[in-house]
Structure 1
Amino acid sequence: MSTDVHGTADREWIGGLQVMLTEDFERLTARLTELTADSGDSADAYNRDALVAATRQNLDNITGALRRIADGTYGTCEKCDGVIPRERLEVVPHARFCVPCQQKLSGY
């Protein structure tokens, strides 16, 4: 099987990933609705705000990955246009950059 997501052998994997990401999106959307409902408990407001921010970030990551799948750019580094290896995408499904470009962006 190919190690990048551009080969025919990986189309089935991408289809399964798309289903998983869509399910995660739906689950996180429901969670965000719960978190943003006014609980009236100001003691937990800080924790709730942190959870809301993290949930929104996860939703943004999932939305981006689903958009890249739909437009055919999933698995292509947004910086160098190189292939992001499938192994990286299995660990970080929303990865937008290959490891070398991510390291440069992160200052490593």
Structure 2
Amino acid sequence: MDHLSEQQLAGLRTKLETEQAELSERIASSTSVVADNLDPGRGDVEDQAAEEAGRFQAKQLLTRDRARLAEVEAALSRVAEGEYGICEESDEPIPFRRLELEPTTRYTVAAQEALEAEGGVADPHADEPIGY
């Protein structure tokens, strides 16, 4: 982490903590929507289908938010352990600009590209459908 100034590190930590709080709040409020039971006596079949579709979408978003929260918490753990901003593949410093754009990143661009070429690492959210 020597390549990051105290000010840069503090800004990144704040960004991560803010995202952690937002995700935690969103997860808490979404959990009740996903957990609600369908009331078979309410509405007609189309109403129930629309309600189930909304619940399905909420569940997908909840799954994505939980995965993102795990990434954010892992990044905060790396900050606490003094390992933040160091590529897990090459042990090279991750440039501040990359961390600023994606504070949870664990790899330099070169390492990320090499891993993706080998089929080892990809966007963790690429396969998650998001319904609209």
Query: Pairwise mapping of residues 36-47 of structure 1 onto structure 2 (< 5 A)?
Result: 36-37=31-32, 38-40=35-37, 41-47=51-57
Deviation at 1:21, TM superposition (A): 1.2
Deviation at 1:60, TM superposition (A): 1.1
Deviations 1:38-60 (A, max 9, x none): 34442312211110111012101
SS of 1:51's partner is helix
* Aligned length, in residue pairs: 103
Verify: 1:22 aligned to 2:17, yes or no.
yes
* Rounded Cα–Cα distance in structure 1 between residues aligned with 2:73 and 2:99: 15
The answer to which of 22-31 and 34-43 deviates more is 34-43
Listed as ranges, the gaps of 5+ residues in structure 2 are: 38-50, 119-132
Task: Kindly indicate which of the two structures has a greater share of residues assigned to helix.
Answer: 1
| Match 1:86 to one of 92, 96, 101 | 96
Task: Percent identity, please.
Answer: 29
Unaligned residue ranges in structure 1 (runs of 5+): none
Q: CA RMSD in A?
A: 1.7
Report the TM-score, using the length of structure 1 for normalisation: 0.85
Q: Would the aligned equivalents of 1:25 and 1:62 in 2 still touch at CA under 8 Å? A: yes
- Largest Rg, 1 or 2: 2
Letter in 1 for 2:77: R
In the alignment, which residue of structure 2 is the partner of 1:6?
Answer: 2
Q: Does 1:33 align with 2:28?
A: yes
8 Å CA contact retained: 2:12, 2:99: no
Tell me which of 84, 97, 110 is aligned to 1:100.
110
